[in-house]
Amino acid sequence: MASFNGKVVLPMLLLWFTVTMCAVGQLDPPKMRHIKITNELGGDLALTFHCKSPRRDYGVQVLGPHASSQFSFKPNIWVVDTEVSCNFQWPNESHDFVVFRLQRDVEQCIDCFYNILPNVVCRFDDDTGGYDDCLPYYN
């Protein structure tokens, strides 16, 4: 009898948990995220950048002035610290920035569009329609 209860009760509890979490939006399938990097360094400076996550390397790319490049990914909802970091380089400079962090960006960043400037990284803000969500580099 105990083995019958275990075979029935555990799956029923798992089903109840899954239905409940879906009902409150906690197990929604993750949305595809789109990262766009634009070189706004000024002058004729080329931007070299390398983005990667713990699970994927997006490779090294070089952008001329005002040029853009994009990549997409689907966050892993089971890994709380999902992030994509990039290293940005131009003559005599090298800086790091996290372009997507699940905890920071899950609600506000489906299309994460960034302008790379000499002193800050500015993300497009849907509410204002401009690249005015600016943060300094990490180094």
Q: Per residue in 97-121, pLDDT tens? A: 999 988 888 777 889 999 999 999 9
Average pLDDT, the chain: 84
Q: Tokens in use for 76?
A: 């892993």
Max mean pLDDT among 10-19, 43-52, 68-77, 130-139 falls in 43-52
Among candidate residues 109, 111, 112, the one with its CA nearest the CA of residue 86: 112
Among candidate residues 20, 35, 30, the one with its CA nearest the CA of residue 114: 35
Is residue 18 classed as helix, strand or coil in its secondary structure?
helix
pLDDT, tens digit (0-9, with 9 covering 90-100), for 35-69: 999 999 999 999 999 999 988 999 999 999 999 99
Task: Give the pLDDT confidence score for residue 75 in this predicted structure.
Answer: 81
Beta strands in the chain (DSSP E): 33-39, 47-52, 57-63, 68-73, 83-90, 93-101, 111-116, 120-125, 130-136
Long-range pairs for 79-84: beta carbons < 8 A, 24 or more residues apart: 79/54, 82/53, 82/54, 83/53, 83/54, 84/35, 84/51, 84/52, 84/53, 84/58
Residue 3 has pLDDT above 60, yes or no: no
In this prediction the pTM is: 0.77
Kindly give, in sequence order, each residue whose CB lies less than 8 Å from that of residue 45, ignoring residues fewer than 6 positions away.
39, 65, 90, 91
Kindly give, in sequence order, each residue whose CB lies less than 8 Å from that of residue 21, ignoring residues fewer than 6 positions away.
27
**Confidence band for 84, pLDDT divided at 50, 70 and 90:** very high
